[in-house]
Structure 1
Amino acid sequence: MGIIDKLNKDFESRVRLGIMSILMVNDWIDFTEMKTLLNITDGNLASHSATLEKSEYIEIKKEFVGKKPKTSYRVTNRGRAAFNEHLNSLEKLLKSNN
């Protein structure tokens, strides 16, 4: 198995890479803040976060604050481990080309 085979396909999208990067250094991030940080549309964030949730890499919490819906995200232990493994594989790939 080559180094490239160890890269996680779930993180190939730049949006998913961005979501995971933000969540690795923050506890909970709400929908609006995540959308602003990544400069993406509501639909784009919703679809990519749903994919990450399906893989159990992130947790999505939906609640009401007053009468307004609030969606927040955080990385799961599984997501943290998978993303670290992905980053380690990227680092090995970069080093192998020097």
Structure 2
Amino acid sequence: MTDPLHGAHPRHALDDVIHAPVRFSIVATLAAAEKAEFAFVRDTVEVSDSVLSRQMTTLEKAGYVVVKKGYVGKRPRTWLALTPAGRTAFAAHCQALRAIAGDGG
């Protein structure tokens, strides 16, 4: 018998942390690279610094993203990267979306 709270429908495999549109866009951007500069992600996702910063905090607390600070010359820079757990969660989330859309998974 299927547990009504954790049934067989693929929506149960969606990751609540990744599912929010801005966080999904951030994770998708980071999935395409080993790491990315904060400004690149901000501009790609089309959000403000504060919005990206808040969403990165959520992703970092979930263990999906690592934030590294450093310098290029004398200018401070922040780099963002998916952790292995973040890559796994993103792949599983995308698989669930494909299954919901009827494209297999």
Fold conserved between structures, TM > 0.5: yes
Match of 1:86?
93
Please give the residue correspondences for 1:66-81 in structure 2 after superposition, counting only pairs within 5 Å: 66-81=73-88
- Tell me the number of residue pairs that the alignment of Structure 1 and Structure 2 aligns: 96
TM-score, normalisation: structure 2: 0.85
Q: What whole-Å deviation, never above 9, does each CA across 1:9-53 have from its counterpart, x for those lacking one?
A: 011211111111111111111011111111110000000011111
Match of 2:45?
38
Match of 2:62?
55
- Structure 1 unaligned runs (5+)? none
Give the SS at the match of 1:84.
helix
Choose 66-75 or 13-22, whichever is displaced more.
Answer: 66-75
Alpha-carbon offset, residue 64 of structure 1? 2.6
Q: Which has the higher helix share?
A: 1
Give the SS at the match of 2:67.
strand
Alpha-carbon offset, residue 65 of structure 1? 2.8
Give the SS at the match of 1:73.
strand
- Structure 2 unaligned runs (5+)? 1-6
Mark the structure with the bigger radius of gyration: 2
Alpha-carbon offset, residue 68 of structure 1? 2.2
